[in-house]
Amino acid sequence: MRLEIVAIGTELLLGHTVNTNAAWLSQELAKIGVDIFFHSTIGDNPARIKEALALARGRSDGMIVTGGLGPTEDDVTTAVIAEFAGMPLILHPEILKKIKDRFRRRKMTMAKLNERQAYLPKGAREIPNRVGTAPGFILAIPQEPSTPKGTRYLPEPEKVPGTFFIAALPGVPREMKPMFLETVQPFLRKQGGPKSVIISKTLRTSGLPESTIAARVRKWLKLKPPVTVGIYAHLGEVDLRIMAKGKNLGKANRAIGKIEKEIRPKIKDVFFGVDEETLESNVVNHLIAKKKTLAVAESCTGGLLTHRITNVSGSSKALTRGLVTYSYESKTALLGVPADLLKKKGAVSREAASMMARRVRQTANTTFGIGITGIAGPTGGTKKKPAGLVYVALATPKKTYCSELFLKGSREEIKWQATQKALNGLRLELAKT
């Protein structure tokens, strides 16, 4: 089955709200074998909603509409769908009662406007809403017999004629999500037709640029469905996502497993986790498993490294302390970094970072110490020491390593990349032990 997702709302077109519903719905639909080839967003405008319906009916088996179900005059989704389907709007007394009860429970008077929400197109099935007042609905109408519109460039009609489903849901995520999971998903599962699921697994790496990773796995990047591999670069991180379409979850999982087994040796040195695993969770879990401890002294990253580490539940077992030594004075007072060294070499120097790492390790009595100093920018840089210059040092029981980085981006991006480097350095060190 092939559906498309249409979001309705002028606030989306104006950019005041980011459409997160489309991504969430897509993930949920992929899990039950529904293909999604189009997301679109339009305003609360009857002509354009009808145009989207006509377009979707020409190329898909149905559409999920989010938004425009509210009580105000702006909310036209239900009326337009009814008109498109050629069905009148019918009052559902049981829905009206639910809405009234809801207001009564909250000791509020129901506005006359809210009555509109009790009308659904004839033939529609209610999607109950436990969180808000707007019910959703599912409506099935015949497919258009004529040639699909707007598909001039598609080699052939991509869909089989039959029934066209419209599921209308509110735009508010905390109402939409349970409604989808409780009513729409079970409904779609029951629809016939061949089904196959799409799942994915992401292999995450840090330490090499996208082009180098791409060169290593070029062969797999060329794979065609049902199993494909995509590459995605983030700040200080490159992900490989293996995606498989299969008759069922077991088959799709096995297809992914096969490719993963082939790729993993190619990225052995940079791989740090799958899916939701992060550099920080990798590091924290390895520290705990190996009974090692860590202390951190940050200057330009200003607490971000410690924040990321402490986002991992259980991190208190591994991290004992973090110091943000933002001033010269605090570097000396808290870490005993000699004022002399700071004066001679500068607070942003290989020597200062190394000394911070060593001293925080010693004073906290931990296995490892990390020291970071640099210029996060946009101000504070000089010709010799530009914004983006960062030193990241790691003190181990045996020696201290220090990297010099020239980072680009906004202040927050520079902070982030510096912490990526620090976490990846510790990850590599832990892999050795």
Under rule CB under 8 A, which residues in 178-237 are in contact with its own copies?
A: 198, 200, 202, 209, 211-212, 214-215, 221-222, 230-233
Under rule CB under 8 A, which residues in 259-288 are in contact with its own copies?
A: none
Q: How far is the CB of 324 from its own copies (least distance, A)?
A: 3
Residues 173 and 181 sit within 8 Å (Cβ to Cβ): no
Cis peptide before 173 (omega within 30 of 0): no
Cis peptide before 265 (omega within 30 of 0): no
Which residue in 163, 311, 382, 433 binds its own copies (CB under 8 A)?
311
Q: Does 60 bind its own copies (CB under 8 A)?
A: no
Q: Does 71 bind its own copies (CB under 8 A)?
A: yes
Under rule CB under 8 A, which residues in 119-148 are in contact with its own copies?
A: 131
**Pick from 180, 190, 164, 95: nearest CA to 134:** 95
In the bound state with its own copies, the residue whose beta carbon lies nearer, of 135 and 322, is 322
In the bound state with its own copies, the residue whose beta carbon lies nearer, of 8 and 402, is 8
Size of the site for its own copies (CB under 8 A): 115
In whole angstroms, give the CA distance from residue 282 to residue 284. Answer: 6
Q: How far is the CB of 100 from its own copies (least distance, A)?
A: 12
Q: Does 323 bind its own copies (CB under 8 A)?
A: yes
Structure tokens at 112: 């006359």
In whole angstroms, give the CA distance from residue 341 to residue 421. Answer: 24
Residues 45 and 77 sit within 8 Å (Cβ to Cβ): no
Angle made by CA atoms 406, 333, 416, in degrees to the nearest 5: 25
Q: How far is the CB of 117 from its own copies (least distance, A)?
A: 11
Q: Does 349 bind its own copies (CB under 8 A)?
A: no
In the bound state with its own copies, the residue whose beta carbon lies nearer, of 6 and 432, is 6
In the bound state with its own copies, the residue whose beta carbon lies nearer, of 43 and 338, is 43
Q: Does 382 bind its own copies (CB under 8 A)?
A: no
Q: Does 155 bind its own copies (CB under 8 A)?
A: yes
Torsions phi, psi of 151, nearest 5? -120, 25
- Kind and range of the H or E run holding 326: none
Q: Does 36 bind its own copies (CB under 8 A)?
A: yes
Sheet architecture: strand order including 294-298: 294-298, 368-374, 389-395, 400-406
Q: Does 411 bind its own copies (CB under 8 A)?
A: yes
Q: How far is the CB of 180 from its own copies (least distance, A)?
A: 12
Under rule CB under 8 A, which residues in 91-110 are in contact with its own copies?
A: 106, 108, 110
DSSP annotation of 413 reads H
